[in-house]
Chain A
Amino acid sequence: MQGGQGQLIEILLVDDNLDDVEFIQLAFYEARVTNRIHHAADGEAAIAFLQDPSTPRPDLILCDLHMPKMDGSEVLQVIKHDESLKTIPIIMLTSTGVEQELQIYKNYTNCYSLMKPVSFGNFIQVLVQIETLWLQIVS
């Protein structure tokens, strides 16, 4: 995935499940997508990353919903109420699909949701969906 000037985009992946983190990273690798992926293990770490001036500002955030300490919806609230962060597109990752029904995503611009797949092959499909979404966003 590339930004406007052909640079690779920075992605922040927020997920406490290390298996899923591994799968997503592997899927990126398998799909030969060489974007820089930063990992935050929970919501608080994600906010700390976003507020740290020494770290790059992500172009896209992938965020799990269920996390200890600060969950995905709280992370979403914080980001969408922060003037400097609210323009960053966010894709919420869910396990059950139920969250998709929740109104919370509809209240914000540049906010999407995707269901985590049960097989690795599907992870790669999800990555394709992420890319499609990204293209929609930058266009």
Chain B
Amino acid sequence: MRLSLEKKVISGFGFMLLLLCLIGGAVYQSTTQLVRANRSVKHTLMVLEKLEDVASHLKDAETGQRGYLLTGKVAYLGPYRDATAVLGQEIEALQQLTVGNSAQQRRLNALEPLVVSKLAELDQTIDLRKKAGFEAALQVVLTDRGRLLMDQIRVLINEMREEEKRSLEHYSAAAAARAQFLIGGVALGTLSAFTLTPLAIFVINQEATQRLRAEKARLESEQRFRRLSEATFEAVAISEQGRVLDTNRSFAELFGYEPAQEIGMSAVEFVVPECREGVRQKVALGEENPYETVCLRKDGTTFPAEIRGKMLRSQEHMVRVTAFRDITERKQAEEKLRTYAANLEKVNQELEQFNYIAAHDLKTPLRTIATRMEMLPKQLGPLSGQAQHQMSRILLAVRHMDRLLSDLLAYSRVGTRTELPVFTDSNAIVQHALDNFLNQIQTSGAIIQVEPNLPTVLADPNQVAQVLQNLISNSIKFCRVTPQIRVSATCSQDECTFCVADNGIGIAAGHEQRIFGIFKRLHSQEEYEGTGIGLAIVKRIIEWHGGRTWVESEVDKGSKFFFTLWRADNAGGTGTTDRNLASGRQLR
């Protein structure tokens, strides 16, 4: 978890404060206890002093008594009187000092009568000495009562002294411990303060530096973005929840605003009202693909635009960066292209119509000429050989012209009004082509061999049948022996190469390309009749299918005509023939 600086500072200082409070509390506590311990020590010392006083005064009193008893001099009674005068007070003082200590009180209570008795004994002996003389007093002393009392007193005082000494030791030790603790506490507090403060300063400094660096980086990135957006030709706007946050100079220029004037405006205000709903939906769906719309300038003029928007995260906000591009020129170019294409289409249609009408209208008179030329000999009666020759030459010319017109028409129609290529079984196409000119095949006696299991291809069946028909009829035509023709196909992954091979006259080297050109012929009409359009049609049809045509040939040996078509059964491999496909299933 990452804490903010404020939290870090507060918790850090809080911790330090707590630590200081704890240390302060402990020090206060210890100091109080130390003071109390010191007071107890002082008190004990006072008790001991008083005990010493009592013992000392008793001794003084006894010494005074003895001196007097021995000498009879009144001077010895001075210390005795002094001592007895204070003893009572001292015992009372001791009683007050030991209030709360029951053991000492008990001993004091025992001590007091003993002291009274001792003083009474002293007083008695002094009185006897004074009145009855030394001997009488000695008799009393010799009873040892005074000594015994004194012994008892000494024992009690010693006990009390011992007790007080024990207390003294206890309190002294406690005071020493407290003092030790106090020193430790203060040292710990100081140490903590000395350690934590630099640590806190370090952490705060670190954090502040990081912040400064991040802020600097952010500013730099912002500046970089701004420079970038200023440098780009595209108008760029940044919006958040449909409101413009920022734009670049190009944007202001494109929409005719003063820089920064558009900030805060609703983003859809830059689009004409009728397009706003659509744009809103695209923005709501987060559309990132470019789309076209119509934009609105400040002065109310409009222009077609391409818009591309993208949602981006910026400092925990989602903003939309949108680029606008004026596509007026593109639109105009598109429109121009459309018009051009439409015109071209129209011209094409007109040309096609022209071809058709021309062929039709040219054929009609030809038919009349041919038919009437045929009928004429009947009306004329028998004709000379020369006249018959003329007539037959005219008829030949007319029929040739008719064929030319048909072929030209067929050539011009390749790729104009054809079906789209479909999956086509080429076995069926070959069969269809052969059926179309069965008569010619039978007349020529040609042997036509078709390889079984030809592939399925993408083709317009009628057109490809036309190709095969043209190639096979060429093979039959350009042959001096019995034509032997073989139709085969080989397939690669994508395309199939068909081959129509014959045993005909072949084509001289160097003419392989020429023969596919329109009206290009290698022989005269007298040698081999033809229009020179058949192979041109083949080439045009195959090229329309996206294929290629070529020929391999050897003069007097034969020719191999090749053409390629897109393969349609490459999933099944060569040789599979699906009869359903032969019916021509539409591809699209």
A residues whose Cβ falls under 8 Å from a Cβ of B: 17, 19-20, 23, 26, 66, 95-98, 101, 116-121, 123
Contacts and interface: CB of A to CB of B under 8 A. Distances in A.
B521 interface: no
Contacts of B398: 118
Contacts of B356: 96, 98
A118 B360 contact: no
A122 to B, nearest CB: 9
B8 interface: no
Given A118-B398, A118-B399, A123 B371 contact: yes
A23 B369 CA distance: 12
Given A98-B356, A101-B417, A123-B371, A118 B364 contact: no
Contact of A117 (B364, B367, B372, B409): B367
- Chain B binding surface, main DSSP class: helix
B371 A119 contact: yes
B367 A95 contact: yes
B417 A119 contact: no
Contacts of A23: 371
Contacts of A120: 370-371, 374-375
Contacts of B374: 119-121
B356 to A, nearest CB: 6
B395 A96 contact: no
A96 B363 contact: yes
Contact of A118 (B366, B409, B413, B462): B366
A98 B399 contact: no
B302 interface: no
Nearest to A19: B368
A105 to B, nearest CB: 15
Contacts of B370: 118-120
Nearest to A94: B360
B402 interface: yes
Given A101-B417, A118-B370, A121-B374, A95 B395 contact: no
B406 interface: yes
The residue among A66, A96, A101, A123 with the most chain B CB atoms within 10 A of its own CB is A96
B359 interface: yes
A118 B367 contact: yes
Nearest to B405: A96
Interface string B307-351: 000000000000000000000000000000000000000000000
A98 B371 contact: no
A94 B372 CA distance: 19
